[in-house]
């Protein structure tokens, strides 16, 4: 049996306090495709750096096959000292590597190689770093969040390129669908130790839950065993002293094991601060356009966003998603057309750059804006340490500088600050970057259940499918089209027409715009979203009418009030609510039906 290309065994590392890595192991053979998963701050990036030889473990065995080549993709690539991107990419090649491979990767990643490192956007820097580590076609690729800041088309290309390659992979990523498509085995780093499953990430959550349930049962059994032994010590029949001392020693060992057990990491509590309800109409845009020089970013786009809508924006980096979002929220004025915002809007924004955070500022100071030890959340004053716990920060981290946080912890901190502000309109620009799976699950639940309105820019296909009610995507030459449903629904409606991968340079700052095929002539008909709503409203109204009839039958019982006064009051409130919902649906259906007749008349 051939030895592994890379083997880490019994790795230990502590930065003060509890060990970050406490006996972690990681083994990679030729052809392996490993997803390395774990909570933010659990030590995934550190373990990957130990594998790459960039960090030295305090204890444990590190074996690298002497002839194996290893390339590591950092979260923040360092391009200092390189004149342009091509020079940076080619610096990763060895004497025997094919220089044409660098040109091939640059072209497919939308780069010319002449770009100046200082002028690169986050997405461009990530693509350049990918080209550098993939160009030598190494034996092992260590990829730390490779999809961050990449648009959907590049992510899909990367999946195909990695599948074609011969390199063994260890990948850290928050992108579920990416991990499902590239991984064949999964390593879970939890509380300093690793567990391995020889199946891809698609099976991870079921496997993890089984492990945690079994662990909880074992801990419960240990607790009961300790109780039995303590009872024996107090009341049991006296045996030989030697046997008694042995059992007493075993009891002390069990107690120590029970006390030292580190339970599974807690779950973050994500909840947006309540604001008063906005009007039914949130945003109405009519024929808005925006250009920068000769580049048309938005060309005569119209939409109507109502309370409760969750709208996703997709497209290549630089195509204008953020520009369109800023116009719709009133931050940026369109060159032509009008944008009307609804009444009583309170907007909370998470921008792509994650605000400018002072790395020397403490977590508590950042959350309270330097206004003492308390902040107001949902109208209730809370101590900053209590609020931090909701987002899985420890009390002792209150005085920790932001620079000490991992990328995922920093993302969680900024999310905590945004959600403390009252809002009925959430504007989220790439909210999933750097978040761990568990926090992503909670963010998904927050967005899907948010009673207000959500505008969401994301390259995470799984997140989009689980949260949004419609998707706005570019259709070339500044045209944007709205599709009902999530990302997969959008692809089905577009048919064979996909988001363009290739991008052309726009402007000296390195901004880019997608070159999509010429648009078809606009036809006078309902949008996909309007048609979807019109087709589905009758079924919803019929179901609601049936529910109202059931409630009315319940109210017709003369003994209902005497039997259950509280239930009677709740039923009345529910009946009023359902009747109001039915009236709103009927009004919306009538408006759409009249519009359809007018357009088709």
Q: Which residues are annotated as a binding site for ATP?
A: 38-45, 315-322
Helix (H) or strand (E) holding 9: strand 6-13
What does the alpha-carbon distance between residue 323 and residue 339 come to, in Å, rounded to a whole number? 14
Neighbours of 560 (CB within 10 A): 14
Report whether 551 contacts 578 (CB < 8 A). yes
Provide the pairing of β-strand 295-306 with 347-350. Answer: unpaired
Q: Which of 350, 321, 325 is nearest to 339 (CA)?
A: 325
Q: Assign residue 196 a region (left: φ > 0; alpha: ψ between -120 and 50; beta: otherwise).
A: beta
What does the alpha-carbon distance between residue 464 and residue 488 come to, in Å, rounded to a whole number? 9
Helix (H/G/I), strand (E/B), else coil: 88: helix
Show the tokens assigned to 55: 């960090």
CA 323 to mean position of chain CA atoms: 22
Helix (H) or strand (E) holding 195: strand 193-197
What does the alpha-carbon distance between residue 171 and residue 177 come to, in Å, rounded to a whole number? 13
Tokens 């938005």 correspond to 298
Residues 103, 105, 110, 115, CA torsion sign:
negative
Tokens 């296909």 correspond to 461
Report whether 47 contacts 22 (CB < 8 A). no
Report whether 391 contacts 412 (CB < 8 A). yes
What does the alpha-carbon distance between residue 530 and residue 447 come to, in Å, rounded to a whole number? 22
Report whether 39 contacts 391 (CB < 8 A). no
Report whether 26 contacts 172 (CB < 8 A). no
- How would you label 517-548 residue by residue, b for 16+ Cβ within 10 Å and e otherwise? eeeeeeeeebbbbbebbbeebeeebeebeeeb
Give the annotated binding-site residues. Answer: 38-45, 315-322
306 CB-near residues (< 8 Å, 6+ apart): 280, 281, 282, 453
């Amino acid at each position: 049996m051939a030895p592994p290309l890379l083997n880490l065994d019994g790795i230990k590392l502590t930065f003060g306090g509890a060990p970050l890595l406490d006996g972690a192991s990681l083994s990679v053979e030729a052809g392996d495709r490993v997803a390395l998963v774990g909570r933010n701050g659990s030590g995934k990036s550190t373990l990957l750096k130990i594998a790459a030889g960039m960090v030295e473990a305090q204890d444990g065995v590190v074996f690298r096959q002497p002839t194996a080549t290893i390339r590591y993709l950092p979260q923040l690539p360092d391009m200092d000292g390189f004149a342009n991107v091509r020079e940076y990419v080619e610096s990763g090649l060895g004497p025997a590597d094919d220089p044409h491979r660098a040109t091939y990767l640059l072209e497919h990643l939308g780069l010319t190689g002449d770009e100046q490192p200082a002028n690169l956007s986050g997405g461009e820097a990530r693509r350049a770093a990918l080209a550098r580590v993939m160009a030598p076609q190494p034996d092992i690729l260590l990829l730390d969040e490779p999809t961050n800041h990449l648009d959907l088309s590049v992510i899909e290309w990367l999946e195909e390129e990695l599948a074609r390659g011969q390199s063994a992979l260890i990948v850290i990523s928050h992108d579920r669908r990416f991990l499902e498509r590239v991984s064949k085995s999964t390593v879970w780093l939890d509380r300093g130790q690793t567990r391995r499953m020889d199946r891809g990430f698609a099976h991870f959550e079921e496997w993890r839950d089984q492990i945690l349930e079994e662990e909880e049962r074992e801990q419960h059994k240990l607790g009961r065993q300790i109780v039995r032994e303590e009872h024996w010590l107090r009341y049991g029949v006296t045996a030989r002293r030697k046997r008694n001392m042995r059992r007493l020693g075993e009891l002390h060992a069990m107690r120590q094991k029970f006390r030292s057990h580190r339970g599974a990491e807690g779950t973050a509590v994500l909840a947006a601060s309540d604001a008063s309800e906005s009007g039914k109409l949130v945003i109405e845009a009519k024929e808005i356009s925006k250009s920068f020089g000769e580049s048309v970013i938005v060309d005569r786009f119209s939409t109507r966003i109502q309370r409760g809508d969750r709208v996703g924006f997709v497209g290549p980096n630089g195509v204008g998603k953020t520009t369109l979002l800023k116009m719709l929220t009133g931050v940026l004025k369109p060159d032509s057309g009008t944008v009307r915002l609804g009444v009583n809007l309170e907007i909370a924004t998470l921008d792509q750059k994650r605000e400018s955070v002072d790395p020397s500022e403490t977590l508590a100071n950042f959350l309270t804006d330097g206004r003492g030890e308390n902040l107001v959340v949902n109208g209730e004053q809370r101590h900053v340490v209590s609020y931090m716990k909701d987002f899985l920060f420890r009390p002792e981290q209150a005085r920790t500088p932001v620079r000490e946080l991992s990328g995922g912890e920093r993302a969680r901190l900024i999310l905590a600050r945004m959600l403390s502000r009252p809002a009925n309109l959430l504007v989220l620009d790439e909210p999933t970057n750097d978040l761990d799976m568990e926090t992503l699950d909670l963010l998904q639940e927050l967005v899907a259940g948010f009673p207000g309105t959500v505008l969401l820019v994301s390259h995470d296909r799984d997140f989009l499918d689980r949260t949004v009610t419609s998707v706005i995507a570019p259709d070339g030459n500044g045209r944007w089209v709205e599709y009902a449903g999530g990302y997969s629904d959008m692809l089905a409606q577009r048919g064979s027409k996909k988001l363009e991968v290739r991008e052309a340079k726009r402007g000296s700052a390195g901004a880019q715009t997608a070159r999509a095929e010429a648009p078809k002539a606009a036809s006078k008909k309902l949008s996909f979203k309007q048609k979807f709503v019109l087709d589905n409203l009758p079924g919803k109204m019929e179901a609601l009418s049936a529910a109202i009839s059931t409630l009315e039958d319940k109210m017709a019982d003369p003994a209902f009030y005497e039997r259950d006064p509280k239930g009677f009051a709740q039923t009345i409130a529910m009946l009023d609510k359902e009747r109001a919902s039915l009236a709103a649906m009927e009004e919306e259906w009538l408006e759409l039906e009249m519009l359809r007749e007018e357009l088709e008349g």
